[in-house]
Structure 1
Amino acid sequence: MRIDLHAHSTESDGTDSPAGLISAAVRAGLDVVALTDHDTTAGWAEAAKAVPPGLTLVPGAELSTVSADPVTGRQISVHLLAYLFDPASSALVLEQSRLREERRTRLRRMAEKMAADGLPVDPDDVMDRLPPDAAGGRPHLAQALMRAGLVESVSHAFDSYLAKGSGYYVGREDTPIELAIDMIAAAGGVTVIAHPFARSRGAVIRPETLAGLAARGLTGVEIDHPDHDAPTRAELRGLAAELGLLVTGSSDYHGTNKPTKIGAETTDPVVYEELVSRATGSSVVVG
């Protein structure tokens, strides 16, 4: 049984439509796939309609959160995977709406800074290409830079124009992770921190922070991920065992925006069944 619990569609920063993501999962021979777009559930309905016999869809989202470092006080970006929550939860609907607006405002501001600097980027065109309820992200700007012939790939765009520290970078106000865990739990869902020790992405949370989040109600940690090397995976497995956290594995598939193929990393079926058994907010979609 092959299970991938982290994948994105065009409703955030992937390049496959929600239905296209389902097709990609089938071609990859997956039995279970989760749709986890950033800060939106807009793709759930389309993906559910496309599920064929033999495939199961896990509705989810990847929430943009922050955690205060206990030593420096610095705000650390943490991506929180949420599964099988009630998408109609009023608190969650309001917070996801705020996050999407934060993302769109940031995207436009970055595009405007580029245009003001003489780069061939049209902010209106960048925004018009987003689906109505999609969460905008820097990969959308990367695509604009590729169309303009300024870069050859998404990674080239990030290295040259979009990374933190670039003159075009704009931050945003994300949700405190403790609040996000509480909201998902109240909506009947379960939570897993995505790529928690992916140090190539920037500062990461400390083990003591992870312990506090486990006590708060965090369900698991995504360990088998393309951005975790073998020593990091071993370190996280030890922490997860100590803290009683479930261990997942996922590709973090983004279509052509990232090189990793869907199904490149997977979750153990026993862990998957445990995740599903703990959730009460919504149900998996069985083809």
Structure 2
Amino acid sequence: MNRYIDLHTHTTISDGTMTPRELIEYAAKKKLAAIAITDHDSIDGIWEAKQSGKKNHVEVISGIEFSTYYKHTEIHIIGLLIDEKDKRFIKGLHEIIEARDNRNKVMVDKLQAHGFNINLDDIFATADSKVYTRAHMARAMLNKGYVSSMKEAFDLYIGNDGPCYVSREKVNPQMAIQLIRSCGGVSILAHPTLYDMNLRELDALIKELKAIGLQGIEGEYALYTKSEERYIKELAKAHDLVLSGGSDFHGDNKPYIDLGVGKGNLKINYHLLERMREIKNH
């Protein structure tokens, strides 16, 4: 019998709307065999998720998602099967979190310069989270009536091309990949079709990341078209990268994406996780 998994999810620890416990309980209802917690720049939800996993008979994979910058493009690197208790990993993670916090302060300053009465406390009030992201900023803007939707906040102000956007140049893909590898994790390039790169640029990116330790690529993802999925899998084969797959579930923050199935057509087989463990062990 086929067993299905989801290796890309978010909880209230970053920018999801389900707590780690709620997410695992939902995974059990969806009859998923395994689920990875990949909160942005945080491992704080993993322990709670694993406790819930034991009760609900769902295998919980320790993971994380890093936002990094490559030639002024935001690139996401996922770490799976990490050792979240590794001291070197924790030290490096704290440095990355500090970079995110500093970026949030600068973005708030830009929002205020554009006439929005938004401060850090408004953002903190949107969620009981350990890591605050642009999604929390968008929620604060929505709560105050400055925008009609979170999408509008991104489209007009805080998206990558928005006037209030600030990149975190300090964090690059090599830092994230090395940090993931340092604690025995498997490094995965997340959703490469979202980076607004042509085929040549994407191929060059993957070659460069492979040279510094990238081990896998997200071959199954909620927003891929069939042709995009085929192309990404061809790239993975060409560059000898392991395949991963996930919905990028955020709960109500992305209501069009459901756990395990994405927009309804995802079926990520457990054998991807088994292959990933082989990569890790070697």
Give the TM-score taking structure 2 as reference length: 0.87
The one of 79, 84, 94 aligned to 1:82: 79
One-letter code of the match for 2:270? Answer: P
* Distance apart, 1:174 and its partner CA: 4.3
**Which residue of structure 2 lines up, in the alignment, with residue 176 of structure 1?**
172
8 Å Cα contact 1:82/1:190 also seen in 2: yes
One-letter code of the match for 1:33? Answer: I
The answer to whether residue 266 in structure 2 is matched with residue 270 in structure 1 is no
SS in 2 for 1:3: strand
8 Å Cα contact 1:82/1:184 also seen in 2: yes
The answer to which of 227-236 and 78-87 deviates more is 227-236
Unaligned runs of 5+ in 2: none
Query: What is the number of equivalent residue pairs in this alignment?
Result: 271
Distance 1:82 1:107 in 2: 23
**Which residue of structure 2 lines up, in the alignment, with residue 103 of structure 1?**
100
Distance 1:179 1:141 in 2: 26
Question: CA 1:242–1:220 in 2, change beyond 3 Å: closer, same or farther?
Answer: same
The answer to which of 252-261 and 120-129 deviates more is 120-129
The answer to whether residue 35 in structure 2 is matched with residue 33 in structure 1 is yes
**Which residue of structure 2 lines up, in the alignment, with residue 57 of structure 1?**
60
* Distance apart, 1:30 and its partner CA: 1.5
Distance 2:134 2:276 in 1: 31
Equivalent positions of 1:131-280 (< 5 A) are 131=128, 134-199=130-195, 202-203=196-197, 206-258=202-254, 259-264=256-261, 265-279=266-280
* Distance apart, 1:116 and its partner CA: 4.1
One-letter code of the match for 2:78? Answer: L
The answer to which of 50-59 and 113-122 deviates more is 113-122
Distance 2:69 2:109 in 1: 26
**Which residue of structure 2 lines up, in the alignment, with residue 20 of structure 1?**
22
Percent of aligned pairs sharing the same letter? 30
One-letter code of the match for 2:16? Answer: G
Distance 1:59 1:180 in 2: 16
Distance 1:257 1:87 in 2: 26
8 Å Cα contact 1:251/1:266 also seen in 2: no
Deviations 1:245-276 (A, max 9, x none): 12222100111111211112343222211213
The one of 112, 117, 121 aligned to 2:118: 121
Distance 1:192 1:217 in 2: 10
More RCO (CA 8 Å, sep 6+): 1
How well do the aligned residues superpose, as a CA RMSD in angstroms? 2.2
Distance 1:160 1:176 in 2: 26
The answer to which of 7-16 and 158-167 deviates more is 158-167
**Which residue of structure 1 lines up, in the alignment, with residue 69 of structure 2?**
66
Question: CA 1:247–1:253 in 2, change beyond 3 Å: closer, same or farther?
Answer: same
Question: CA 1:28–1:95 in 2, change beyond 3 Å: closer, same or farther?
Answer: same
8 Å Cα contact 2:28/2:56 also seen in 1: no
The answer to whether residue 90 in structure 2 is matched with residue 93 in structure 1 is yes
One-letter code of the match for 1:241? Answer: K
One-letter code of the match for 1:48? Answer: K
Distance 2:138 2:73 in 1: 23
Distance 2:72 2:157 in 1: 23
Question: CA 1:122–1:76 in 2, change beyond 3 Å: closer, same or farther?
Answer: closer
8 Å Cα contact 1:250/1:267 also seen in 2: yes
Question: CA 1:220–1:266 in 2, change beyond 3 Å: closer, same or farther?
Answer: farther
8 Å Cα contact 1:3/1:268 also seen in 2: yes
8 Å Cα contact 2:13/2:45 also seen in 1: yes
